[in-house]
A and B are shown apart, each in its own frame.
Chain A
Amino acid sequence: MVINKSVVVIGAGPAGLAAAVELFKCGIKDIVVLEREPFAGGILNQCIHDGFGVIKFGEVLTGPEYAHRFIDEAEKLGIEVLTSHTVIALNEDKEITVLSTKGLITYKAKAVILAMGCRERTRGALGIPGTRPAGIFTAGVAQNLVNLKNIMIGKRVVILGSGDIGLIMARRLTLEGAEVIAVVEKMPYSNGLARNITQCLEDYDIPLLLSHTVINIEGRKRLKSVTIAKVDEKGEPVKGTSRKILCDTLILSVGLIPENELTLGAGIRLDDITQGAIVDENLQTGISGIFACGNVLQVHDLVDHVSNEGEKAARAVAAYLESDGDEYMEKSHIPVKAGNGVRYVIPHTVSGNRDVTFSMRVDRQWENKKLSFKSSGNIIKSIKYRRLSPSEMVVVSMKASELQGVKGLEVSIDEA
């Protein structure tokens, strides 16, 4: 049986829920949100700490409270959110195959919003030598076990990677009675928010070892120790600096990867850097009518931005459906390129006829530089920054009037 829908949203995390609510507000009510977990809310359910919602709601909320706002609103609006429904395939005709306890379901949609989020990089992606004992967790898995399943994961903990989830887990495990011996970071700076260094590490006297990494893992059944060492500018271990730390648990907080298997299955092209879909200014992918938002498009720092991107995708879908799809693909062919000092820029193409919000990340830490938008070598916009860091997404809005007549755009870091 095939069920027809105006819009199918894949994923009921912050991006998908915000998109669904916004679609409804735009008058598009024939929609369904598909979620593989038994609860809506996505990763927010296990992010029990606070700090969410400051930008979007002007309030400090915990993850579950932030999710609750959207879950509650979706419920009140009567939006169909189906949990324990796993999408296993999507094709270019916008047919969606779903596994559920009721069996196999197929949806056919006029438009699809991809909001599957991301997953964590694991030990395999790092290639740390050593044995393969129990006691090695990614930070998100540790968070899930401790905060949702009531399973404590260890007593003496080393954390590799100083991203926000790693820092948050350092505090959480300390409060739960574990001893966090150190947070080890390969880069000479932390990728986490400054406030988390203060309130998660300094508050509990947990050392942050910058320019260090784990070079070996020891133990047979359970982790016994890790060997750490200083690294040079190239990230190579420095001889004579290694030392062994006795521990039973190693937590990896070493980055997130957008979960794009469905996207690839539909034949949508991904960006090599973001590992998310290549999109135009409407967040539309290479396939007409399929849009992407949230962490499946690019890994965000703040959930507030994820929700905003979900809403933006929803408004684009509303316009797409209204225009019957055709002209909406309209001439969004002007390429946008990441130049010197910039890792990536989203969107990948613009039309030059609409206002555009660009999001990007720089490739290293920069101080007192200019971020320039150039077309055929001419600067059409430039903004001064006191500090730019790879761990902070940069968002720049441009008016259609500024983009008029642009042939191609390059965003780069220049001397201020």
Chain B
Amino acid sequence: MKLKKEMTCIVCPNGCKMEVIYGDSISVKNALCTKGEEYARNELTNPVRNLTSTIKVDKGVLPLVSVRSNKPIPKEKMFDVMQYLKGVVLEAPVGFHQVVCENILGTGADIITTREVKREV
């Protein structure tokens, strides 16, 4: 059986409006690049998202450091990861791309910092 679905690809700012035909196999129309098909496949089976947030920093020039997952995590785990990150506090100095949490909640993704925060003087 073939089913049809409209999907907006979120991989890049182009935001291709794709027509996804799926069933036994998947085919994608109106995507400007091949990443669209991968995105569509994930959306239908296991939707994933990059997570970006902040983590508390103690004794830093800023009270927070921005972080992200180093690979997309399952959509349904977003709020669980947020809840977990609430309890994490780092002590400054915090480095750029420092790994904060490895394999966060078993998702296979690490949480890494996206800036540095120097220690308060």
Binding site for B on A (CB under 8 A): 38, 45, 48-51, 54-55, 60, 62-65, 67-68, 146-150, 175-176, 193-195, 197-199, 203, 301-302
Chain B interface (Cβ within 8 Å of chain A)? 8-13, 15, 17, 49-50, 52-54, 56, 61-64, 66, 68, 75, 78-79, 82, 96, 114-115
Bound-complex Cα distance A54 to B114 (A): 17
Task: Return the chain A residue nearest B50 by Cβ.
Answer: A50
- Chain B positions within 8 Å of A203 at CB level: 49, 75
**Which residues of chain A have C-beta atoms less than 8 A from B78's C-beta?**
175
Q: Are A195 and B75 touching (Cβ within 8 A)?
A: no
* Contact residues in B for A197 (Cβ distance below 8 Å): 8
How many angstroms between the C-alpha atoms of A193 and B63 in the bound complex? 31
Q: From B52, B68, B78, name the one whose CB has the most chain A CB atoms within 10 angstroms.
A: B52
| Whole-angstrom CA separation of A193 from B13 in the bound complex | 7
Question: In the complex the two chains form, what is the Cα distance from A387 to B63 in whole Å?
Answer: 44
Contact between chains at A68 and B96 (CB < 8 Å): yes
CB-based contact A150/B56 at 8 Å: yes
Q: With A48-B114, A68-B115, A194-B15 in contact, is A147–B8 under 8 Å at CB?
A: no
Q: Is the CB of A176 within 8 A of B66?
A: no
Write the nearest CB–CB distance from A56 to chain B, whole angstroms. 12
CA distance A146 to B53 in the complex (A): 10
Distance between Cα atoms of A199 and B9 in the complex (Å) = 9
Q: Tell me the bound Cα distance from A55 to B33 in angstroms.
A: 13
User: Which of A64, A149, A175, A195 meets B53, CB within 8 Å?
Assistant: A175
A-B pairs with beta carbons under 8 Å apart, 11 shown? A48-B52, A48-B54, A50-B50, A50-B52, A62-B68, A175-B53, A194-B17, A195-B8, A199-B10, A199-B49, A203-B75
Pick from B15, B52, B75: contact of A193, CB under 8 Å: B15
Which of chain B's residues have a CB closer than 8 A to the CB of A193? 13, 15
A146–B82 Cα distance when bound, in Å, is: 14
Cβ contacts under 8 Å, A64 to chain B: 66, 114-115
Out of A150, A195, A302, which one reaches B54, CB within 8 Å? A150
Q: Which residues of chain A have C-beta atoms less than 8 A from B62's C-beta?
A: 148
CB distance from A305 to the nearest CB of B (A): 10
Contact B63–A149 (Cβ < 8 Å)? yes
Report the separation of the CA atoms of residues A63 and B68 in the bound assembly, to the nearest whole angstrom.
Answer: 11
* Smallest CB gap from B97: residue in A: A65
Chain A min CB distance to B17 (Å): 7
A51-B12 in contact (CB<8A): yes
The residue of chain A having its C-beta at the shortest distance from the C-beta of B12 within the complex is A54
A148 contacts B64, C-beta separation under 8 Å: yes
Across-interface contacts of A148 in B (CB, < 8 A): 62, 64
| Set of chain A residues within 8 Å of B9, measured between Cβ atoms | 195
Contacts of B56 in A (CB 8 A): 150
CA distance A45 to B61 in the complex (A): 14
- B10, B52, B64, B115: the one within 8 Å of A150 (CB): B64
Contact status B54-A147, CB under 8 Å: yes
A122 to chain B, nearest CB (A): 25
Docked-complex contact A176 and B82, CB < 8 angstroms: yes
Contacts A51-B12, A64-B114, A195-B13 known; 13 new A-B pairs at CB < 8 A: A48-B54, A48-B68, A54-B13, A55-B13, A60-B12, A60-B50, A68-B115, A150-B54, A150-B56, A150-B64, A195-B10, A195-B15, A198-B15
A176, closest chain B residue (CB): B82
A198 vs B12: C-alpha distance when bound (angstroms): 12
User: With A195-B15, A203-B75, A302-B13 as given contacts, are A50 and B68 in contact (CB-CB < 8 Å)?
Assistant: yes
- A302→B75 CA distance, assembly (Å): 26
Minimum CB–CB distance from B89 to chain A (whole Å) comes to 11
Ranked nearest first, the 7 interchain pairs of A and B with the lowest CB-CB distance are: A194-B15, A64-B115, A48-B66, A195-B10, A195-B15, A150-B63, A198-B8
Given A48-B54, A150-B64: A65 and B10 interface contact (C-beta under 8 Å): no
A127 to chain B, nearest CB (A): 32
User: A147 touching B82 by the CB < 8 A rule?
Assistant: no
Decide yes or no: A49 and B52 within 8 Å by CB, A62-B66, A149-B63, A150-B63 being known contacts. Answer: yes
Our pick among A38, A65, A198, A302 for the contact of B114 (Cβ within 8 Å) is A65
B52 touches A62 (CB 8 A): yes
Expressed in whole angstroms, the minimum distance between the Cβ of A261 and any Cβ of chain B is 28
